[in-house]
């Protein structure tokens, strides 16, 4: 009887000791030296604020440029200047054609001195016409730079202002297939905001 009572006490003490060890083990997670415990819900992802900030704008530069009133006026000025040069070039070509026809008609009857003079006149007229055309092309390029430069600068400033205001990381120009794909979930049409800035920058 005494032994049964003693066994019962020993058994209860053993059960309590084992229960305490199990409780301590479940309350403490042992990690390797220097390692950080891993959260139960897995690795952390990028903050939502970072994802929201990583946006970009999309636009067609040429579409915005050609819709600007200053661009239309610059084209009209260039067209008038080009017509003026073309008219002068046509006059030079007509004059050369006349001299050449006269030379062909009279070359059999001209004295040698006159024949040589007509040849020099034709050569000079041809060189003058070529020089004028080269000069006209150069003047047209310079005029285009002078007229279009301020227009493009204003559009560039409006794009920068819109990008800063909207918090874009960058703005994509879709002209000529330069960017065949962009994520629509991370982008938006920047053109309306650029137009707002253009109105603010209107001279």
DSSP 176: G
Residue 151 near residue 179, CB atoms below 8 Å: no
Query: How do residues 135-159 score in pLDDT, each as one tens digit?
Result: 999 999 999 999 999 999 999 999 9
Q: Which residue has the tokens 């610059």?
A: 74
**Per-residue pLDDT, 76:** 97
Q: What angle do CA 162, 168, 174 make, to 5 degrees?
A: 80
- % the chain with pLDDT above 70: 73
**Per-residue pLDDT, 187:** 92
35: phi then psi, degrees, rounded to nearest 5? -85, 150
Residue 129 near residue 89, CB atoms below 8 Å: yes
Residue 190: exposure state from Cβ atoms within 10 A (0-12, 13-18, ≥19): buried
**Per-residue pLDDT, 53:** 52
**Per-residue pLDDT, 52:** 55
Residue 166 near residue 56, CB atoms below 8 Å: no
Of 174, 176, 171, 177, which is closest to residue 190 (Cα–Cα)? Answer: 171
- The list of the chain residues with pLDDT below 70 reads 1-54, 203
**Per-residue pLDDT, 38:** 42
**Per-residue pLDDT, 8:** 52
Distances (CA, A) of 97 to 91, 116, 127, 128, 129: 10, 18, 14, 13, 11
Q: Which residue has the tokens 């209860």?
A: 12
């Amino acid at each position: 009887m005494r032994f049964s009572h003693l066994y019962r006490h020993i058994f209860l003490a053993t059960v309590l000791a084992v229960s305490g060890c199990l409780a301590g083990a479940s309350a403490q997670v042992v990690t390797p030296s220097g390692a950080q415990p891993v959260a139960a819900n897995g690795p952390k992802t990028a903050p939502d604020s970072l994802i929201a900030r990583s946006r970009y704008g999309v636009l067609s530069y040429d579409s915005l440029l050609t819709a600007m009133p200053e661009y239309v006026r610059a084209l009209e000025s260039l067209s008038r200047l080009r017509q003026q040069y073309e008219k002068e070039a046509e006059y030079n070509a007509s004059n050369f054609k006349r001299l050449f026809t006269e030379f062909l008609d009279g070359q059999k009857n001209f004295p040698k001195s006159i024949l040589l003079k007509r040849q020099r006149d034709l050569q000079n007229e041809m060189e003058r016409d070529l020089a004028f055309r080269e000069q006209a092309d150069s003047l047209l390029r310079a005029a285009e730079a002078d007229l279009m430069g301020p227009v493009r600068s204003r559009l560039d400033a409006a794009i920068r202002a819109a990008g800063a205001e909207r918090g874009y990381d960058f703005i994509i120009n879709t002209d000529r297939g330069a960017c065949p794909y962009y994520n629509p979930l991370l982008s938006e049409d920047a053109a309306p905001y650029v137009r707002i800035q253009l109105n603010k920058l209107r001279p």
